């Protein structure tokens, strides 16, 4: 059940971000508002996950960088 909910949530967010003519910033803003209204601790968890993802992407970018010599 948890995997299915995760897949549904992922698809929902992807479809919202892909919508033609819509800007992603308001959608992300609504998500942050909804999370913070439900639980402030959950908002901190969201922030932690964003930081973690950012670090992961930076590591990937550094490891895939091939200097030209």
Q: pLDDT per residue over 4-22, tens digit each?
A: 998 998 898 888 888 777 7
Give the per-residue pLDDT at 21: 77
> CA 46, CA 50: separation in Å to the nearest integer?
6
Whether the model pTM is above 0.85: no
> CA 32, CA 43: separation in Å to the nearest integer?
7
Decide if pLDDT at 69 tops 70.
no
Give the per-residue pLDDT at 47: 92
15-63 pLDDT tens trace: 888 877 778 888 888 889 998 998 889 999 999 999 999 999 999 888 8
- What beta strand segments (E) does 1-69 contain? none
């Amino acid at each position: 059940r948890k995997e299915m909910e995760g897949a549904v949530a992922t698809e929902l967010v992807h479809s919202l971000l892909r919508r033609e003519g819509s800007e992603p910033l308001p959608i992300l803003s609504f998500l942050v508002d909804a999370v913070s209204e439900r639980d402030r601790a959950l908002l901190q968890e969201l922030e932690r996950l964003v930081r973690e993802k950012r670090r992961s992407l930076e590591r990937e970018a550094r490891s895939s960088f091939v200097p030209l010599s």
